[in-house]
Structure 1
Amino acid sequence: MKTTFYMSLLLAGLHAVAHGQLPPNHHNGHDPDEPKHHMHHRVEAIACLKLVPNNADFAFQFFKEVTLEAPNKNIFFSPVSISTAFAMLALGARSTTQTQILEGLAFNLTEIQEKEIHEGFHNLIHMLSHPESGVQLNMGNAIFLTEKLKPLKKFLDDAKVLYQLEAFSTDFYNPTEAEKQINDYIERKTHGKITDLVKDMDPQTVMLLASFVFFKGNWEKPFKPEHTEEREFFVDAETTVKVPMMHQTGRFDFYFDEELSCTVVRLHYNGSATAFLVLPPKGKMKQLEQALVKETVRKWSDHLFQSLLSLYLPKFSISGSYEIMNTLSKMGIVDVFTDQADLSGITGTPDLKVSKVVHKAALDVDERGTEAAAATAAEILTLSLPPTIEFNHPFLMLIFDRDTNSTLFIGKIVNPTITS
């Protein structure tokens, strides 16, 4: 009988609040007086760019699985948080268990070595946790261990170096106390955004792994609160809700995908984060979900052009909470959740398995932003009215980090008045 290792994977995603134009070279934000830093940054970027295609494949595959499980519900999760936690777990996995985890994360092990994967995640965490400016993004991992369980020094050392792991001793025999310790830690790390991550803890738990991401961004070009007004949002053919709808007229990165009949608008945050808002025709979300692969997003990115628009976007807060063992099992990560698990790289003995995986993410979208420099030129509006794009029925929101090309969050907003 394997000892169950209750693994909690959590994430806080925050504050979509943004618009602006991508500068001709967004790396110009680096300080020219720090060539060493610049060089180091570039080396890190190259290491983590190796992970980009695989992480994107994992992100969209996971999204498809989750939408199948909850077809008409809001969805919000952080693929990069899930990938990071399981890549770290792979450090302590051996044999088939390790292969399944890495292949389930969409890595082809004939093309990329395990060592390169861990180095890539190390650099990714470092770059995301030290953004150049404007965006607040904290990533981290923590492990809570029963006194009896003595992890191998090598695992702890490697996980600390590669994944910024923090380790804590926890008395799981006192579940109330253990829950409080873990939830307080997560709440603190996510600035109060993620609360009560774990509940009803099993006193037999020997180890809990938590992974978190906290994101707060300000729109490069904020919406003016006085332009926000209540308007209708069409959830489905039978349901209409009232939402506070933000509005601004200006030049936006825009593309209409004729193949999928969907409208794409890109808004930038200050710093390196960017949001893609994707609006399919009413009732055609399924078609868009099925077409969501990295090549589709790349096509949108390549075809965006500046266009004068009157843009309406709901102000909303959503969160997603998922038990994701089932989803990951469908994606080929199976043994780690069964008595076949081999996590002997963590403790030296193969008597651990993962019993539970919880992922929680939250997002706020509102008007806030930091005004650009005072010498901004007034938008020159043509006399004819610009086309109106109103996100007033279910749409997708994808948040990327431009420096690392990482998919930070994927959201499907079906009903912006439902917060969880």
Structure 2
Amino acid sequence: MKMKPTFSLCFLLAGLYAVAQCHQHPRYHNKHDDSKGTHYPGRSSHGEGIYPVKNKTFVKLVPSNADFAFSFYKLVASEATDENIFFSPISISASFAMLALGAKSATLTQVLEGLAFNLKKTQEQEIHEGFCQLLHMLNRSDSELQVSLGNALFIEETLKPLQKFLDDVKSFYEAEVFSTNFNNSSGAENQINNYIEEKTNGKIVKLVENLDPLTAMVLVNYVFFKAHWEKPFSTSYTKQEEFFVDRKMSVRVDMMYRKGYYRNYFDEELSCWLVQIPYNGNAAALFVLPDEGKMKQVEDALLKKTVSKWEKFLQDRKIHLHIPKFSISGTYDVKRIVKQVGMIDLFTEQADLSGITEDEEGGRLLSSCWVIHRAMLNVHENGTEAVGVTVKEVTWRSGDFPHPPRVRFNRPFLLVILDKYTRTVLFIGKIVNPLKND
């Protein structure tokens, strides 16, 4: 009896922040990509300006994407109370929304509702159109800011994916689709790893190993984020200081320092400092520093409405800012976590994914799968090019503190990286130990 190929769905996300020299990255995927394997034919990606400016469908996605981001964080945090956390919620949302293109009936509803969409208020088509717009706006590359977010499907060459599914993943999610011979495991691994290495500018290598020859499909998801601080830190002020991991343990870290104007606020109710550090371009990092013993209280309050409140109260005032240099990464079993947001059938034999392939087993494609999300972040002064950069600031502004407070991130803190124009949460992290990278 011939065995049906299992369906291994692999979300491999590489989200990288580095403030070294920027280099250009194509805004749209080239359908003549030199990755080994055959491209399935399909419609080309939507061009710039396909939607009139007044039709901002992506705006409907903003509240749901934020709700999903903070829900996912709490699920991860509940299992990793004393560990670093870092992931890209928008990347996970986009991947599952794309997968919904091949889902039907209860499976489709579970996926979209699991992504925090109210299907009575937002139609499925609006969700896909909104993600299409969002990906176009987020995917940009210039001298100030580089964001590259996308997906690729590697499908077993003996399967017959439905043309509508291929067309939709290309047109809505700018996904590349390759025909792959998984019977040749080493060849398939090389094909996928070469693709990931290229899309992450060489930062992620050999991520896929020991592929099962019975694999039917691998979905690769990646995010690459590179930006310069709007106001760089000077390396001459970076000094070794103590970082208090908890009451019993401390580590020595390279602590950056800068006195200057930042949008900041102390939340008396939650007992935490908020400092927003802008990047050149249209992104910003919101650093959240709970008082000692208040991390759980702040995490529990981490909701869309809380972040909105913080944004309203942030004021541009001078502070003495101390933030550690750190590299952080996170790897998560997304398959297990999304079950807790209601995607019950998706990874079982009850899943209806008959919109993906003509194969008679199409409804049970995800019963055997691997879903991994990996994200990485690197925070430092601003790269080697930043030395000698100066930013002139007005010496006094109304609303300034009489004596600028010293905000020292020398204990566990939270980090939210936002795209300001689309109000999208690109990354969420918790830094418990800056020296522990994974």
State TM-score, norm by structure 1. Answer: 0.90
- Alignment counterpart, residue 377 of structure 2, candidates 363, 371, 375: 363
Which residues of 2 match residues 164-243 of structure 1 at below 5 A? 164-243=174-253
- CA shift in 2, pair 1:17/1:261, >3 Å: farther
Q: Structure 2 CA distance, aligned partners of 1:5 and 1:68?
A: 30
- Alignment counterpart, residue 121 of structure 1, candidates 109, 112, 131: 131
Amino acid at match of 1:358: I
Q: Structure 2 CA distance, aligned partners of 1:116 and 1:383?
A: 46
Contact 2:17 2:224 in 1 (8 A): no
Q: Structure 2 CA distance, aligned partners of 1:162 and 1:262?
A: 40
- CA shift in 2, pair 1:243/1:331, >3 Å: same
CA offset at residue 337 of structure 1? 0.3
Which residues of 2 match residues 213-362 of structure 1 at below 5 A? 213-348=223-358, 349-353=362-366, 355-362=369-376
- Alignment counterpart, residue 4 of structure 1, candidates 6, 16, 40: 6
Contact 2:350 2:364 in 1 (8 A): no
Deviations 1:12-55 (A, max 9, x none): 2222659xxxxxxxxxxxxxxxxxx89968346x2111100000
- CA shift in 2, pair 1:3/1:330, >3 Å: farther
Q: Structure 2 CA distance, aligned partners of 1:231 and 1:72?
A: 21
Q: Structure 1 CA distance, aligned partners of 2:15 and 2:355?
A: 31
CA offset at residue 8 of structure 1? 1.5
Q: Structure 2 CA distance, aligned partners of 1:69 and 1:82?
A: 19
Deviations 1:304-346 (A, max 9, x none): 0011101000111111111111100111112110001111111
Structure 2 unmatched runs, 5+: 21-47
Contact 1:160 1:166 in 2 (8 A): yes
Deviations 1:154-178 (A, max 9, x none): 1101110110110112221232322
1:406 alignment partner in structure 2: 424
Find the residue that maps to 2:100 and give its secondary structure.
helix
- CA shift in 2, pair 1:376/1:410, >3 Å: closer
Q: Structure 2 CA distance, aligned partners of 1:244 and 1:108?
A: 45
Q: Structure 1 CA distance, aligned partners of 2:49 and 2:429?
A: 33
CA offset at residue 211 of structure 1? 1.1
Contact 1:236 1:283 in 2 (8 A): no
Find the residue that maps to 1:353 and give its secondary structure.
coil
Amino acid at match of 2:378: D
Structure 1 unmatched runs, 5+: 19-36
- CA shift in 2, pair 1:283/1:412, >3 Å: same
Is the helix fraction higher in 1 or 2? Answer: 1
1:31 alignment partner in structure 2: none
CA offset at residue 193 of structure 1? 2.2
Amino acid at match of 2:53: R
- CA shift in 2, pair 1:266/1:198, >3 Å: same
Contact 2:65 2:93 in 1 (8 A): yes
Amino acid at match of 1:196: K
- CA shift in 2, pair 1:346/1:40, >3 Å: closer
Amino acid at match of 2:176: E
1:15 alignment partner in structure 2: 17
Deviations 1:222-252 (A, max 9, x none): 0011111111100011110001011100111
CA offset at residue 299 of structure 1? 0.3
Q: Structure 2 CA distance, aligned partners of 1:184 and 1:49?
A: 35
2:415 alignment partner in structure 1: 397
Find the residue that maps to 2:366 and give its secondary structure.
strand
Amino acid at match of 2:16: L
CA offset at residue 414 of structure 1? 0.4
Find the residue that maps to 2:417 and give its secondary structure.
strand
- Alignment counterpart, residue 42 of structure 1, candidates 46, 53, 61: 53
Q: Structure 1 CA distance, aligned partners of 2:211 and 2:135?
A: 29
1:140 alignment partner in structure 2: 150
Q: Structure 2 CA distance, aligned partners of 1:184 and 1:206?
A: 19
- The size of the alignment, in residue pairs, is 402
Find the residue that maps to 1:84 and give its secondary structure.
helix
Q: Structure 1 CA distance, aligned partners of 2:98 and 2:166?
A: 11
Q: Structure 2 CA distance, aligned partners of 1:250 and 1:409?
A: 25
Q: Structure 2 CA distance, aligned partners of 1:249 and 1:358?
A: 40
Deviations 1:186-226 (A, max 9, x none): 11101122233322322211001111111001100100111
Find the residue that maps to 1:297 and give its secondary structure.
helix
- CA shift in 2, pair 1:326/1:383, >3 Å: closer
CA offset at residue 376 of structure 1? 5.5
Amino acid at match of 1:14: L
State TM-score, norm by structure 2. Answer: 0.87
Find the residue that maps to 1:345 and give its secondary structure.
coil
Find the residue that maps to 2:126 and give its secondary structure.
helix
Find the residue that maps to 1:102 and give its secondary structure.
helix
Q: Structure 2 CA distance, aligned partners of 1:11 and 1:57?
A: 20
Deviations 1:382-413 (A, max 9, x none): 99752110100000000000111000000000
Contact 1:16 1:219 in 2 (8 A): no
